[in-house]
Structure 1
Amino acid sequence: MSTVPDSILLGKYFTDEAGFRNLFPLPIQKLDALHWSPITVAGKAVQFLAQHEVVNILDIGSGIGKFCLTGGSIQPAAHFYGVEQREDLVKQAIIVAHRLGLNNVHFMHSNFTQLDLKEYDHFYFYNSFFENLPGTDKIDDSIAYSRELYNYYSHYLYKQLEEMPAGTRIVTYCSWGDEIPDTYSLVETHFDSLLRCWIKR
């Protein structure tokens, strides 16, 4: 029996935002518009990061897995990994990935600083660090927030990206670019430059 997901079944969940939200409980649906990437944004990012190659793509701060689930549904050759600090969101993401039969989508309950980023080829980053800044919307109060954490995470990611090999790709969405070293070239922008595509020289 084939393990490839039914594209028609998947299509009804990834053609519009309402279809995707219906995969999750109501409390999570209410968070979607503010905290996770629109499907059109995720799709454009996947086009740049995967390009029909067998690659490992990490979403840093994956929430309920919207980017990874969207990517896994449209690019079966790639593997999508999401790392998220909130265990309840990770559990929901895993449930949906299993329900949809997306064997190329994987989720981890961890802080991204505990991972070896060299195990991944490319990265997606919808600025999950912003929550640490005063006056920004928080998903919940289950984790600590501080400006110091924002600075620490941004600097840590910057240093890790510096060490990645030439050809590494990263897509940022709604980011100030604090985490992007000057060894990366901005090669594409979309959605009024909110989505930025970078390649390591």
Structure 2
Amino acid sequence: MTDQIWDSNLPAKYKSISTYQWTPVQVIEFTWQYLQTQSVSSILDLGSGVGKFCLYLAKLANGNFPIYGIEDRLDLYKVSESLKTKLKLEGVVFNHEDFLVNFPFGHSHYYLFNPLYETMKGNYSIDFEKEKSANLFLKNLQILKSNLLKCKTGTKVITYHGFGGSILPGFRILMKKELELGEWMVWERD
């Protein structure tokens, strides 16, 4: 699998931002290598976008554990559901919901590819439907940290290009790897 092959399945308007918005295949494969060494009851991608991380991980994991994605943009949720059908993948469930409002507790592992980036004023936005401001970003970051702090001891959070911040209270860093495309980390709830 390559990013170009994956992107060929996307609607045109999402291909151009793929490099900036969807997890690269190389990072998903690296994450899969790590997860094979873990006891995983389930993994959830917070801000799953078009479902690339979840769908390719489901192909690699081949039913070893359930994979979930949560996305608050209806259009992206619909793309992920469509791709799941097109690619005939099982073991992955997508939900159309805002994880900042209804946090999905209970997973052994969470994945974050800087899901709060969309509230910052920056390049390569998915769209301009979300309000963008530094204050909103900081407010959402606090909500995310507060929810992650409520996770049970031993919960792992895997980040690629961070979660929006540099310190995750109540968590310790288990692994930190500088991949060719960016920083990948594993945090564990103390």
TM-score interval, normalised by the smaller of the two chains: 0.7 to 0.9
Q: Is 1:81–1:105's contact at 8 Å kept on the other side of the alignment?
A: yes
Measure the CA separation in 2 of the matches of 1:18 and 1:31.
12
Q: Tell me which of 7, 18, 26 is aligned to 1:32.
A: 18
Measure the CA separation in 2 of the matches of 1:177 and 1:47.
25
Structure-2 change in CA distance of 1:147 and 1:166 (3 Å): same
Measure the CA separation in 2 of the matches of 1:43 and 1:19.
15
Matches for 1:1-201 after TM superposition, within 5 Å: 15-49=1-35, 51=37, 53=39, 55-75=41-61, 76-175=63-162, 177-178=165-166, 180-191=168-179, 194-201=183-190
Give the deviation of 1:169 after TM superposition. 0.9
Amino acid at match of 2:174: L
Q: Is 2:17–2:124's contact at 8 Å kept on the other side of the alignment?
A: no
| Structure 1 stretches lacking a partner, 5+ long | 1-14
Q: How many residues align?
A: 187
Measure the CA separation in 2 of the matches of 1:143 and 1:104.
30
Structure showing the higher helix proportion among its residues: 1
Amino acid at match of 1:107: F
Q: Is 1:50–1:78's contact at 8 Å kept on the other side of the alignment?
A: no
Measure the CA separation in 2 of the matches of 1:54 and 1:187.
17
| Structure 2 stretches lacking a partner, 5+ long | none
TM-score by length of 2: 0.88
TM-score by length of 1: 0.83
Measure the CA separation in 1 of the matches of 2:81 and 2:37.
25
Q: CA RMSD for the aligned pairs?
A: 2.0
Q: Is 2:176–2:185's contact at 8 Å kept on the other side of the alignment?
A: yes
Amino acid at match of 1:24: L
